[in-house]
Amino acid sequence: ELKVEQNPLFLSMQEGKNYTIYCNYSTTSDRLYWYRQDPGKSLESLFVLLSNGAVKQEGRLMASLDTKARLSTLHITAAVHDLSATYFCAVDLIYNQGGKLIFGQGTELSVKP
C-alpha cells in the first residue's frame, strides 16, 4: 500500500525565515505534485515534478524530487504572510492505475510578522 507522509504537520514561522517541508512516500512513483489549499478553498497546483533530480522554483517556493530516496522537499525562502496555507504533496501510482493521487496529511503553515 502506498503511503505518503509529510513533516512537519504544523509549522509556525516568522516572516523572513527559511524552512523546508518534507514528503516521504513508500513505493515507486515517478510523479510528485505539490498543492496549496487555503481555508475553505480547493487545491491549487504549485508544482509537478516528473523525474529524479527535478527542481522547480516559483517565487519564494522551491520543490525538488529524489526518486531513489522517495523524498520530495518544498523549501520556503524568506517567508511572507501570504504563504500561510496548508500544503499537500501527492504521488500517483506508476502502474497504469489511472493516475489517482495519494495525498500526504498536509502541512499547515502559519507565517507570523
Residue with smaller CB distance to other proteins, 66 or 92: 92
- By CB under 8 A, residue 39 contacts other proteins: no
Site map (CB under 8 A) of other proteins, residues 87-106, x = contact: -x-x-x---xxxxxxxxxxx
Reported as half-sphere exposure (CB side, CA atoms, 13 A), residue 24 has a value of 6
- By CB under 8 A, residue 34 contacts other proteins: no
Residue with smaller CB distance to other proteins, 21 or 90: 90
Other Cβ atoms within 10 Å of 45 Cβ, number: 10
Residue 111 Cβ, how far from other proteins at the closest point, in Å? 19
End-to-end CA distance of the chain: 41
Distance CA 3, CA 5 (A): 7
- By CB under 8 A, residue 3 contacts other proteins: no
Q: Which residues, at least 6 apart from 51, have a Cβ–Cβ distance to it below 8 Å? A: 30, 65, 67
Q: Which residues bind other proteins (CB under 8 A)?
A: 4, 31, 33, 35, 41-43, 45, 48, 88, 90, 92, 96-106
